[in-house]
Structures are given as structure tokens and as C-alpha cells.
A and B are shown apart, each in its own frame.
Chain A
Amino acid sequence: MSDSIAIELRDVVKRFGDVVAVDHVNLQIRDGEFFSLLGPSGCGKTSSLRMIAGFELPTFGSIIIHGREMGITPPHLRPVNTVFQSYALFPHMTVAQNIAFGLEMRKTPKEEIARRVQEALDLVRLSGLEGRRPRQLSGGQQQRVALARALVNHPEVLLLDEPLGALDQKLRKEMQLELKSLQARVGITFVFVTHDQEEALTMSDRIAVMNKGKILQIGTPTEIYERPNCRFVADFIGETNFIDGVVIGRDGNYTVLETPEGLRLRGLASRPLSNGTTATFSIRPEKVRLLTPNGELPPDGIAGTVISVNYIGSDTRITVRINDRRTIDVWEQNTRSTLDRDEYWQPGEAAVIVCPPDNALVLYE
């Protein structure tokens, strides 16, 4: 990943009538990156992508591609190509004709077109299907044609609008890995839009989490997962336990939160929070440790009762009630065979949960 910037969004705003779809978004995507825009429906990620492609023009702000301000440049003159959610393959053309289209538009000589189409087909492993029509292909094959059609033009940036949405689970996971390795091989900057956080975590070099038109956090998958900077991001990515409370002070690096029931919890805050601020304690289920009670409560320990034990196969998910109002989810990986596991947590058992403050967060809003 180089340091040069492939795409920059500078204070971009997009209004549709009264509705603000993209709200002052600032973003820099580096050359060669696999960059994802992640968020729920309506968060502005697709609008942002379309503005990069040129299908929409910003109400305010600039789209800059490799240092060139795009302004009102129409899509067919921009150095980017898009893979559409519905693939948008031309039904009346064969696979080869579809892929060749962009090259034809640029008046590439015939022999070169033939050669590059073949290259593209090999790249997405569809050689031999040149003569087929889109309707004769499976969903996964159509998706790869859409990819080839875009990549054959050697765009400066490839934009992908939820391209895996229509595929079934297994195919999806396969394509995720394929796309990732493809991008590494080809070296082009990918801008990938998705609402599936697992997908984003798997494939991306960096992720921008969006909600309601704003970017909430930009970071690597580990940064986003381990250090979400707000409640929404922590909630949207993966699973987490939330406990509301009020900040009552600091303890070294940690911020201390007190819950209405009097529990005191310690965690890391992304920025200094003053006493009395309402905040949320957040810890991921796999980070919580579950111990059998043995008299003394360990530091950061809370006593509770096991309510349910759910066996998922690779891990076991245990819900522990710690007081009248709250339960905490704990995930334990089944590192050893569960077949001969006779002594395991049972509902009704007393237990102690420990929330190591290094793995816990105190989030504001």
C-alpha cells in the first residue's frame, strides 16, 4: 500500500430534497488499498460510491481522484469502473461482448480487445464461457463477468456496490476470498460498499463505518473491532455487551463507570470523559472470562448466575445474569472436544465473570 491518495472526498454533502444522504464526509483512500464503506441501509455509503463514479453529483464538496478534481465530469469520462449490485450485464450481448464493451468505447484495436478479453476471462476463471449469454450463467458466474468487464479497462479505481449480496452463504465466502486475492494480484484500489460487517472485516485493509450520512470511524479491521470509538460502531461490528452508567473517575489509564445498581466497571476510553458523563461500558463476549466462584471476588469480577448455555459447535455461548436487570453474554471457544465434556457450565450455577479492563471500553454516545 503506497502513500499516494487514490480517492479523496473533501467535505462532501449530498442532499436529495430535504433529506441529507451524505453529511460532510471527509475521506482519503490510498492507492492499492482494499477500502470498505460499511454501514446499515440508508447510511450514505452507496450515495458516496455513486458520487465517486459520477452517477450523482455532490450538493457540496469535492471528489478528487488521483489529484484531479472531478467536478461535473460525467461517468464515462472518469477513470473508474463500477461493479453493480445487480451486475447490470447487457442481456443481448455475450460474455465476451460484455467484457469488450469498455474497450470498444475507447476504440481499442480489435486484436488487442481479443487479447485483453481473454486475459480478463482467465483472471476471473471463466475461460470457455465467452459465447454464453448472461441468462445462461449462474449468479456467481455473472458476478465474475461483471468483475472482468470492469477490470479489463485497467481503471485507476474499482468501485464495488454490494456485489456479493445476491449470492448464497457458501459462494459468498468463496468470492470474498477470491476478491481479496484478486485485488492483491491486480494491485488496483478497490472501494467496496457493504452492509455485512463480517465481509468488511474479512476483506478490507481499512474500513469506514458510516451511519446517517456521517463517517463514524475509519480504521483497520482490528482497530474497528477492538477499539470502536462510539456505541454505534461497537454495536454494528460483531457482538458486544453493553452496560450503561455514569463516569465517576479514572484509575490510571482506565476510566471508571458506575452503573445504577452500583457496579463499578473499568475500561479504556477513546477520549477523556469528565465525571458525571453518561457513558456505556462495552466488552465483547469472547473477551469476558468465566470463573467458578471460590470465596473472594477477583478484581473486575462480578458475581452472577448462569442462565443459559448454547452450544454452537466451535464455541459455547453462555448467558450470565448479574443482577435483576442485566445479563452478560460470554463466549468460550471449545478448544477441546466437547464430546467428553461432562463438567461444564449448567444453567442455575453460580459463576463469576471477569471483564479485563484492557479489553473493555467506555464509550460516549
Chain B
Amino acid sequence: MIKTAPATTASARMRAAFSEGRLTWSGVALTVFSILVYLFLYAPIILLVIFSFTRDEFGVRWTGFTLDWYIRLFNNPRMMGAAWNTLVVATISTIVSTIIGTLLAMAMERYRFRGRGAVEGLIYLPIVVPEIVMAVALLAFSAIVFDLIKLVTGETLRRSLATVTIGHIAFSISFVVVVVRTSLKNFDRRLEEAAADLGADSWNIFWRITFPLILPGIVGGALLAFTLSLDDFIISLFLSGPGTSLLPVEVYNRVRRAVTPEINAISTLMLLLSMALVAISQLLQRRR
């Protein structure tokens, strides 16, 4: 193939693309449709961010630029505390569920054992159970457990961030397993055989061959777990106690009463933080 100069003007190029079959009406329609869908997805987000800067105290119109809400936010320990809690819960939940989930995924993909079907069912059950069912189940469970503990030790435990985190981990594990299993399925085991042939023991094989190659899958699962936890409302609502504050619950309570753009401000900050975390993880990945 040799290179020659392309058609010059934009309209000439478009006509060439159409006649060569590279551009089609269905292709254009698909692109336009997809752009509209992305706009649909981002309209609320963009508005959210923009209206975090508006003077309008209801946050529904643009009446001028201000940073007041951010200032008020930083002086609002409850909101900041709630945001911080949410992030901490999400982080812990992600770390624990990713580890547990990866271990499970390896067990399911690499070993044959009796009762495999039952284990598989148990792992995938959380995906099939609606969150509200899980939430009320955990609520009832925690009530019984606290009663038992009170009976045995006299200590009164209450629902707290810990209970929420436990719940988040419980439903995140399954999603991590799904993602990591896909990664493992696509993994070429001959690479491990080659490493063994070159003298690596199973520990080395795992850490230096398998792990780096399934890392994208693990990171994907972790991102999913993080997303699910950060976004979760139902379990947080049912499992948080009087003392704990989580962002979703805070917002829920406020939204039902009176809303100020402080909510916009905190959401914008959360969004930036999450995006920064993902960017960092991508950079770390690329460094390898």
C-alpha cells in the first residue's frame, strides 16, 4: 500500500466516505442516538455541578455565581462527616470484597470439588436478590445478633458504619467474582505452564504471571464494588443507626424537607474525588 494525498475539503471527504461505504446513514443515526443518550446520562450531573455554584437557594435556577455553598459545606460538619463516612465505607468494602471475591473466583475457576453447584448458587444469589430484601434480612439479622450479644455479655451494640460495611461487602463479593472469573476464563493457562517449565514454583507463578495478567479484571471488579458501595442507598438506609451518618441517608432526609445547593456541592466534590481515584488507578496500571 502506498500513501497519496487525501481529498481536501471536508465536504469532499464526507462525500468520498459515503460513496466508499465507510460512512452510512445507519452509522450516523447510531452516533447521533448515542450522543443523545450520553447527554441524557450527563444532563443531571452537569446541572448538579453547575447549580452548586448558583445563588438561587433552591438550586433550580441560575441566578449568579457563588462559592457560598462550598463554604457552608466545609463548615457543615454533618455533611462533611457523612461524605467522609461514605468514602471510608466504600473503600473498606471495596478492599475486603475484592480480596474475598478474587479468592472465590480462583477457587471456582481452578478447582473441581463436590458441592460446586451449591457454592456457585450461593455466590450468585446476592445478584438475584433485590437490595431491599437483603436490607430487611440484614436488619432482622442484626437485631437478633445484638439481642444475643446483650444476653451473653450485657453489651448493647447498635447498628453503625460497621454494619453498613458488612452489608456492602456481602453484596459486592458476588459482583467481584463475576468480573474476575471472566478475566480468569480468558487467561491462557499455557503461560503458567511455561513459567513452571522455566522453574517457577506456584507462589511465583501466581504473583509474577497470573496476578499481573488478571489485574485488569481485579481492578474492574474493585471499581464495580466501589461504585456499588458509593451509590448504595437502600442498605445504608436500613442498616445505619441513629448515630451514624452516611451521605445517601443525609441527602434523603434533606431532600424530603428542604434542599440547599450544599447537596450539589458535596456531590460535585464526591464526583471529583471518585474520578481522581479512578484516574490514579489507571495511571498505576499503565506504569506496569
Contacts and interface: CB of A to CB of B under 8 A. Distances in A.
Interface residues of B, number: 10
B6 interface: yes
B19 A20 contact: no
Contacts of B16: 15, 59
Contacts of A20: 1-4
Contacts, number: 37
The main secondary structure of chain A at its interface with chain B is: loop
Contacts of A17: 6
Contacts of B6: 15, 17-18
Interface of A: 14-21, 23, 42, 44, 56-59, 72, 212-213
Contact of A72 (B2, B3, B19): B19
B3 A56 contact: no
Nearest to A22: B1
B154 interface: no
A44 B1 contact: yes
B21 A57 contact: yes
Nearest to A14: B20
A19 to B, nearest CB: 5
B4 A15 contact: yes
Nearest to A74: B21
A115 to B, nearest CB: 36
24 contacts: A14-B20, A15-B4, A15-B6, A15-B16, A18-B3, A18-B4, A18-B5, A18-B6, A19-B1, A19-B3, A20-B1, A20-B2, A20-B3, A20-B4, A23-B2, A42-B1, A56-B20, A56-B21, A57-B19, A59-B19, A59-B20, A72-B19, A72-B21, A212-B1
A42 B6 CA distance: 19
A213 B4 contact: no
A314 B4 CA distance: 48
A15 B2 CA distance: 10
Contacts of B21: 56-57, 72
A212 B20 contact: no
Given A15-B20, A56-B20, 7 more contacts: A17-B6, A18-B6, A23-B2, A42-B1, A58-B20, A72-B19, A213-B1
Contacts of B4: 15, 18, 20
A14 B21 CA distance: 11
